[in-house]
C-alpha cells in the first residue's frame, strides 16, 4: 500500500529527533496540492512535535508542494533542494528553519 500524506504526517512525531532541535519553538505549515490536497501543521515545542490537520494562524514557515512530490522528498526519492530549485517545493517565512528541517526528522 503506498504511503499517503496522512501516514506521513502521523509519523512525524516518532521521526522527530529532539536533540537536533534544542530550544526550537516553531510552527511549520504544510499546504498540499495534487492527489491528496489539504493543510496540515506541526508544532515543534519543548522537544516534541504535535501534528494537526488544518491551518495555523501564525506559522513560522510554510511549505507548499504537490502531495506526491512531498512523499518523494520525505522518502528520499526526490532531493529537497532540487525540488525547490525546480519550483516543486515552495517556502515562505523562515528559510533557515526550512533548511534545518531535514535534520529534525529521521526518515525511517
Domain boundaries, the chain: 5-99
How much is the pLDDT for 34?
97
State residue 34 phi and psi, 5-degree precision.
85, -145
Which runs of consecutive H residues, i.e. helices, occur in 1-108?
5-15, 67-74, 80-85, 95-104
What pLDDT sits at residue 107? 65
Distance CA 69, CA 92 (A): 18
According to CATH, the topology of domain 5-99 is Nonspecific Lipid-transfer Protein; Chain A (3.30.1050)
pLDDT at 106 over 80: no
Percentage of the residues of the chain whose pLDDT score is greater than 90? 69
Closest CA to 28 of 39, 14, 43: 43
Cell of 41: 501543521
The secondary structure element, H or E, covering residue 64 is: strand 61-66
Measured between alpha carbons, how far is 1 from 58 in angstroms, rounded to an integer? 35
| Residue 22: predicted pLDDT | 87
**Residue holding cell 521521526?**
15
| Averaged pLDDT of the chain | 92
Q: Give the predicted TM-score (pTM) of the model.
A: 0.92
Amino acid at each position: 500500500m503506498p504511503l499517503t500524506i496522512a501516514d506521513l504526517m502521523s509519523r512525524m512525531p516518532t521521526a522527530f529527533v529532539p536533540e537536533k532541535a534544542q530550544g526550537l519553538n516553531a510552527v511549520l505549515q504544510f499546504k498540499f496540492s495534487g492527489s491528496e490536497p489539504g493543510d496540515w501543521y506541526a508544532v515543534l515545542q519543548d522537544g516534541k512535535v504535535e501534528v494537526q490537520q488544518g491551518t495555523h494562524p501564525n506559522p513560522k514557515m510554510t511549505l507548499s508542494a504537490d502531495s506526491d512530490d512531498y512523499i518523494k522528498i520525505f522518502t528520499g526519492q526526490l532531493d529537497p533542494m532540487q525540488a525547490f530549485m525546480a519550483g516543486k517545493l515552495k517556502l515562505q517565512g523562515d528559510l533557515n528553519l526550512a533548511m534545518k528541517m531535514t535534520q529534525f526528522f529521521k526518515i525511517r
